[in-house]
Amino acid sequence: MSELTALTLAGALEGLHARRFSSAELTKAHLAAIEAARPLNAFVVETREKAMAMAGEADARLAAGDAGPLTGAPIGIKDLFCTQGVASTAGSRILAGFTPTYESTVTANLWRDGAVMLGKLNMDEFAMGSSNETSAHGPVINPWRSPASNKALSPGGSSGGSAAAVAADLVLAATATDTGGSIRQPASLTGTVGMKPTYGRCSRWGIVAFASSLDQAGPLAKTVEDAAILLRSMSGHDARDSTSLPAEVPDFPAFVGKSVRGLRVGVPKEYRVEGMPAEIEALWARGVEWLKDAGCEIVEVSLPHTRYALPAYYIIAPAEASSNLARYDGMRYGLRIEAPTLREVYEETRAAGFGEEVRRRVLIGTYVLSAGYYDAYYLKALKVRRRIADDFDQVFQSVDALLTPTAPSAAFGLGERSADPIAMYLNDIFTVTVNLAGLPAISVPGALDASGLPLGLQVIGRALDEGTVFSLAAALEKAAAFRAKPDRWWTV
């Protein structure tokens, strides 16, 4: 492994400014690591020539003293973000061959600030999945393996490629998206840091839509500081996105290392679910002690409607997906299956282009929006969503943040849960509430389980209070002192 690929984003930026190495050298090291790690299937497109060209421009900016906040830093982009001139498929056959003529706002912000694009990262199809097994490009393999087994493990989803690339040191950091936990759950399963910001903090313009009222972009990174650095560049108001918040972007890295003494942190009793592994319960208890030692006051709180979050989410998200994915009809871009009639073109194209999980969710969404069921399912789910948001509003009157586990298990084997959609959906049990309420939350690696696999802790904050979330996450990161890395079995 190159010493350059082992750097954090913050360390790489410091080294670039100190002229200890160039962006070209840093980028070459990461491209070599990507080539060696192809068994992980983390990348769907490698933009080698583009990366080296961008690195050359970055070195020129550094030499001229015109560097931006990310100048020279090689990163990966989830395949859900439209990138001008680079294929963007959302992990689906139906977008095969689609090359956008425009750049998403988030990626445009990153290039403005000097980041270097290494390529597009694999993901569950249209971000629908918790294991990265629904991708048309094949599953991503988690860099982590149990010392007792060579079983291929899931990196989580839908941002599995982003999480695997960060964990394996293929990128300094990566963009991701979170609709029901798709940043935080993969972070937990790969020993990385995943930040889902407040809904509207990052523009959704140019991000392929899954569920528009839930989708939010965010960073996957090696450290809390790195996540704060990347989110600062990703964020900002965008008039092209009607849900983008006209809020000033704070200096997120300034909150990392800030004292958390005196903060009140809630521990929701509803997150103690039946069948939760004892190791996760123990890590949660350690997290409470770590925050107490940092000067926080711990308060048990109640979020009474938590039990209804998963059922509400799996009505609302498919309903929005059904509407959003109606545009993929074989007429304008992507896959087109020729057939005798227009209706048959639609039917054949969508049947061939969408994978099983996407078809399942589109059918569920269409059903709950249909006449006779709209009130019984969709409107009722919206009312539950409001109650869940109200629970958080009530709790945040007395506490500054919440501490919970991130995921109900460590990484699981590929194929173990794919035959049971309900078992797969339960991976999101601790994360979907945050999306339904539009709040910021972060996953921080806290420990290894008995099988040697990472487990994460989640900090949930008030809307637009990512600063407190970063401060508490940094305190947990410091106390946990998580330094474990996966063995590099893929290069043998």
The pLDDT assigned to 478 comes to 98
pTM over 0.95, yes/no: yes
- Exactly one of 88, 104, 130, 182 is catalytic; which is it? 182
The pLDDT assigned to 113 comes to 98
- For residue 148, pLDDT over 90 is answered with no
User: Residue 345 in 3-state DSSP?
Assistant: helix
Q: Is the peptide bond before 212 cis (omega within 30 degrees of 0)?
A: no
The pLDDT assigned to 171 comes to 98
**318 closest CA partner among 214, 236, 458, 427:** 214
pLDDT above 90 covers a percentage of the chain that reads 93
The pLDDT assigned to 423 comes to 76
The pLDDT assigned to 259 comes to 98
CA distances from 237 to 179, 232, 242, 387 (A): 20, 12, 10, 28
Tell me the domain boundaries of the chain: 9-258
Mean pLDDT across 378-388: 97
- Pairing mode, if any, of strands 454-461 and 401-405? antiparallel
The pLDDT assigned to 492 comes to 63
- For residue 276, pLDDT over 90 is answered with no
CA distances from 359 to 134, 137, 342, 426, 465 (A): 11, 17, 20, 19, 37
The pLDDT assigned to 262 comes to 98
pLDDT, tens digit, for every residue of 251-266?
999 999 999 999 999 9
- For residue 19, pLDDT over 70 is answered with yes
Taking each helix axis from N to C end, the angle separating 105-112 and 224-234, rounded to the nearest 10 degrees, works out to 110
Rg (CA), the chain: 21
Round the average pLDDT of the chain to a whole number and report it. Answer: 96
Q: Active-site residue 78, yes or no?
A: yes
Tokens 């030692």 correspond to 293
**130 closest CA partner among 388, 364, 414:** 414
- Exactly one of 158, 159, 188, 418 is catalytic; which is it? 158
**443 closest CA partner among 147, 189, 152, 158:** 189
- For residue 249, pLDDT over 80 is answered with yes
What span, in angstroms and rounded, lies between the C-alpha atoms of 374 and 380?
9
What span, in angstroms and rounded, lies between the C-alpha atoms of 100 and 220?
24
Mean pLDDT across 383-408: 97
- Exactly one of 78, 120, 196, 222 is catalytic; which is it? 78
Mean pLDDT across 196-224: 98
Window from 307-311, 329-333, 348-352 with minimum mean pLDDT:
329-333
- For residue 2, pLDDT over 90 is answered with no
- For residue 290, pLDDT over 50 is answered with yes
Q: Active-site residue 212, yes or no?
A: no
User: Residue 214 in 3-state DSSP?
Assistant: coil
pLDDT, tens digit, for every residue of 293-305?
999 999 999 999 9
Mean pLDDT across 446-464: 97
pLDDT, tens digit, for every residue of 433-453?
999 999 999 999 999 999 999
**Domain 9-258 belongs to what topology?**
Amidase signature (AS) enzymes (3.90.1300)
- For residue 101, pLDDT over 80 is answered with yes
The pLDDT assigned to 1 comes to 47
The pLDDT assigned to 420 comes to 78
